[in-house]
Amino acid sequence: MKKIILFLSVSLFALSLVAQTNFRDITYKEALAAAKAEKKLVFIDFYTSWCGPCKMMMKNIFPLKEVGNYLNSKFVCIKIDAEKGEGPELAKRYQVKAYPTFVAINPAEEILMTKVGGSGSGSGFIGSIDRLIDPDKTPERMKQRYESGERTADLISAYAGLKMEEVYKNRQPDMTKKDEAFKMVQDYFDGLKDKERLAEENLFIYTSYTESSADAIARYMIANRDKFAPAIKNNISDRIKELYKMDVLNYLTARVPFNQQQYDIVKKGVMDLGLNKDDYYTTAFRFIESYGAGGMDAFMTLCEKEYDQLNDDYKSSLMYSFANVFANANETVKKRAAKFIRHSFLDMDATMIMFVAQQLMQLEGKGH
């Protein structure tokens, strides 16, 4: 029995390694030799020990199966500390000035791509790299392909992804680019047959271009969740959970106006899909319904009594949104809200205190 358990443990560990980015413990020169032998490129992650975004990438992005599958199939991947060993010389050679910086080269050491900064999603990270290393995915070439009538999953995913990157390219977000990307994907989706909509190649539609469980595409995804290709069923299930989590959060933090009919649909979806088995949403529902009733004095009393019963994600999100939630409350309630924040400071870390302090200033009329 012990041997069986050990075998299963080793097998599961091996599977976990397959499902993540394989950063090899080899030198730069060894990586070049390996890439030449394996007919691959070299992917270099330049990082430092103190870089927060670098740690975020290692924790949240590189362990993702989709990221590992993509990078491992095309690259020999290595990590280089820009401040140690061969790192300083290589960082200088490749003109690394910020962290993380990702560089792709061929075995002849020709630069194919330089990408500065991380990404908040695996699909976004993969897409940005793919566009940079593929000459058929330059902005000019993709525009030409699209205008010629090509409508493949590969092109739509890449072209819409480029437009989404352009939204935040400058200091002032260009939301017209987002509208263009979403319209492009919607038009593509509308032209697909059911079998195509459920195919693995079109997973990007659901993971990157749905924002609420009420979206038309999201409603299709939810209604057909058991019909998707087996390889992506878990991704679809995770996305549905994320959408409902965001919907509830938006009501809890007053990011969207309370609408009883729409809220009831969201709550019913959570319950019908079995997403509240562990009471993850139970307290949040009480808060939202109290807020929706319109009595801010009663809502503040609920905060004082049951705030600690919210799950950790929703506790911090609500605290970050206090000024918005109590924006239309009378001065007496605002003072109670400010007092509540001050009493909560002892349980916060330094980063949270900095952001919550801004909420306090707004509540007390000092943030304007």
Among 367, 283, 296, 291, smallest CA distance to 329 is for 296
Q: Which residues are catalytic?
A: 51, 54
Distances (CA, A) of 289 to 28, 257, 283, 341: 58, 12, 10, 22
**What span, in angstroms and rounded, lies between the C-alpha atoms of 153 and 74?**
20
Contacts for 230-233 with beta carbons within 8 Å, 24 or more apart? Answer: 231/200, 232/200, 232/203
| Greatest alpha-carbon span in the chain | 72
DSSP label of 81? E
| Residue 181 contacts residue 209 (beta carbons within 8 Å) | yes
In three-state secondary structure terms, 116 is strand
- Bridge-based pairing of strands 101-105 and 41-47 is antiparallel
| Residue 169 contacts residue 139 (beta carbons within 8 Å) | no
- Bridge-based pairing of strands 101-105 and 75-81 is unpaired
Nearest-5° Cα angle at 192, 187 to 198: 120
Contacts for 301-308 with beta carbons within 8 Å, 24 or more apart? Answer: 303/337, 303/340, 304/336, 304/340, 307/340
Residue 338: which H helix or E strand, with range? helix 331-344
- Bridge-based pairing of strands 111-116 and 41-47 is unpaired
Among 31, 119, 17, smallest CA distance to 80 is for 31
